[in-house]
Structure 1
Amino acid sequence: MSQLLEVSGVSVTFDGFRAINNLSFSIGPAELRAIIGPNGAGKTTFMDIVTGKTRPDEGHVLWGEMNQSLLKMSESRIAQAGIGRKFQRPTVFEDQSVRDNLMMALKKNRSPWSVLTFRPSSADMARIEELAEEIGLADQLGRKSGELSHGQKQWLEIGMLLAQEPKLLLVDEPAAGMTLAEREHTTDLLKQAAKTRAVVVVEHDMEFVRRLDCKVTVLHEGSVLAEGSLDHVTQNKDVIDVYLGR
């Protein structure tokens, strides 16, 4: 099976500190993957490289069936190619309704004229209803986003990313600050999303990772330390020494 994302031999140094060190791994087209590791392991830098925010010193990052180099693309071009990223803190338009937030995110022609003359079609409205149902906010569409709970804002932001129809979704610590019920819903949401696209979750919470029930990549000092099921990696002596034993 061809890979959706192929990272090979990537290294990047900041002021003499090697944040990513000969990192190589790949993600399949419809795969859920968790990335864990201690602080400073390179998890955020990896996402910065894939989204074009940071340029590595060496290595290749190849994308899609055509094996395009992401390193030659701008951040906006990478987003258009189908890579969406959710940061730790939710960023939604607080004064706008849930419906308007989702509508603004829909994958559309973004030329200034089309934005000014945009009128949602019945297909657009149906897509919004569908997304709201998927993220668990169907009964909140008319509500101002600023009034939502922390967990609901996280789901709205995931919904806004899904509205852009990404092929790869990068999600940073989605469980942080959530109630138990919210975390369970988030797990279901990410598992559902991974049926039709690749979803990579960077997370510290081992219980949350266990519930995702997917392949786990452990990073340490900028490279892959271990890979496999959560049970497999948590029994690895090196992983216990550098991460779990703390």
Structure 2
Amino acid sequence: MSALLEVSGVSVSFDGFKAINNLSIQVAEPELRAIIGPNGAGKTTFMDIVTGKTKPDEGYVIWGEKSVSLLGMSESQIAQAGIGRKFQKPTVFEAQTVRENITLALKNPRKPLDLLLNRAALDTEERVRAISDEIGLSDALDQTSGALSHGQKQWLEIGMLLAQDPRLLLVDEPAAGMSAVEREKTTDILVHAAKTRAVIVVEHDMDFVRRLNCKVTVLHQGSVLAEGSLDHVTKNKDVVDVYLGR
């Protein structure tokens, strides 16, 4: 597997504080990756850099087979290039139904002939149904999104991102505030999504990370401290000292 995303030698400072310090990470497609680390390790700043919200002081961020630099692109251009981000707090259109939320998010390149033959409407319904099946909300398609549980809103937002057909999905602490059953379902959704794309999950819940059963990158002071399976990194003395031992 070749790298879909390559972050190399990236550093960024805020008011003299080095939030990211010579960070290098490669992510393949498809791949599921968990990023863990103490507060202030640089996890959110890493996602901010990949999505164009923050520009680094040095280093480069390369994307796709054509090795395009993301650093010269705006946030909207990066999103259009195939990078989707889910923040910790779900943001769905609460007055709209689940179906309407997914439909609004769909990436819809409609051809004139499709519109003429009503193919677009049929295709949209099929895609909405497939996504709602994937996120476990098929029975709630006509329910108002504001009436969903916290976990269901998280799943709907993941579904809205999947509707945009991203090649890379960045997910921030999806397990926060969820019940055990909801966390289990969320794991299944992310594992399934990562079969056809790259998915990076930033998380503190070690049980959740263990269920993801994927490669783990540990950040500390803006750099990679350790990388490998969860069992491998949790046996690393430095990881225990700076993160797990707290």
TM category (shorter chain) comes to: over 0.9
Query: What RMSD in Å do the two structures reach over aligned CA positions?
Result: 1.3
Partners of 1:59 and 1:14 lie apart in 2 by 16
Partner of 1:123: 123
* Offset at residue 10 of structure 1 (A): 0.1
Structure 2 unpaired stretches of 5+: 111-118
Partner of 1:65: 65
Partners of 2:169 and 2:107 lie apart in 1 by 15
Which digits, 9 at most, give the CA deviation of each residue in 1:67-97, with x for residues without a partner?
A: 1000011100000000000000000000000
Partners of 1:109 and 1:125 lie apart in 2 by 15
Taking structure 2 as the reference length, the TM-score comes to: 0.95
Partners of 1:2 and 1:174 lie apart in 2 by 27
* Offset at residue 28 of structure 1 (A): 0.2
Partner of 1:113: none
Partner of 1:100: 100
Partner of 1:154: 154
Partner of 1:32: 32
SS in 2 for 1:12: strand
Stretches (4+) displaced over 4 A: none
How many residue pairs match? The answer is 239
SS in 2 for 1:93: coil
Which digits, 9 at most, give the CA deviation of each residue in 1:148-174, with x for residues without a partner?
A: 000000000000000000000000000
Which digits, 9 at most, give the CA deviation of each residue in 1:19-58, with x for residues without a partner?
A: 0000001000100000000000000000000000000000
Partners of 1:3 and 1:236 lie apart in 2 by 26
Partner of 2:49: 49
1:89-238 residue pairs with structure 2 within 5 A?
89-108=89-108, 121-238=121-238
Taking structure 1 as the reference length, the TM-score comes to: 0.95
- The one-letter code matched in structure 1 to 2:7 is V
* Offset at residue 242 of structure 1 (A): 0.2
Partner of 2:17: 17
- The one-letter code matched in structure 1 to 2:97 is S
Partner of 2:75: 75
SS in 2 for 1:217: strand
* Offset at residue 120 of structure 1 (A): 5.4
- The one-letter code matched in structure 2 to 1:48 is D
Partners of 2:222 and 2:173 lie apart in 1 by 18
Q: Give yes or no for the alignment of 1:4 onto 2:7.
A: no
SS in 2 for 1:21: strand
Partner of 2:114: none
Partners of 1:2 and 1:202 lie apart in 2 by 22
Partners of 2:121 and 2:147 lie apart in 1 by 27
* Offset at residue 109 of structure 1 (A): 5.1
Which digits, 9 at most, give the CA deviation of each residue in 1:88-107, with x for residues without a partner?
A: 00000000000000000000
* Offset at residue 121 of structure 1 (A): 1.2
SS in 2 for 1:99: helix
Partner of 2:88: 88
Partners of 1:108 and 1:46 lie apart in 2 by 30
Q: Percent identity?
A: 75
Partners of 1:184 and 1:242 lie apart in 2 by 28
* Offset at residue 108 of structure 1 (A): 2.4
Partners of 1:108 and 1:12 lie apart in 2 by 36
Structure 1 unpaired stretches of 5+: 111-118
SS in 2 for 1:170: strand
Partner of 1:242: 242
Partners of 1:236 and 1:124 lie apart in 2 by 48
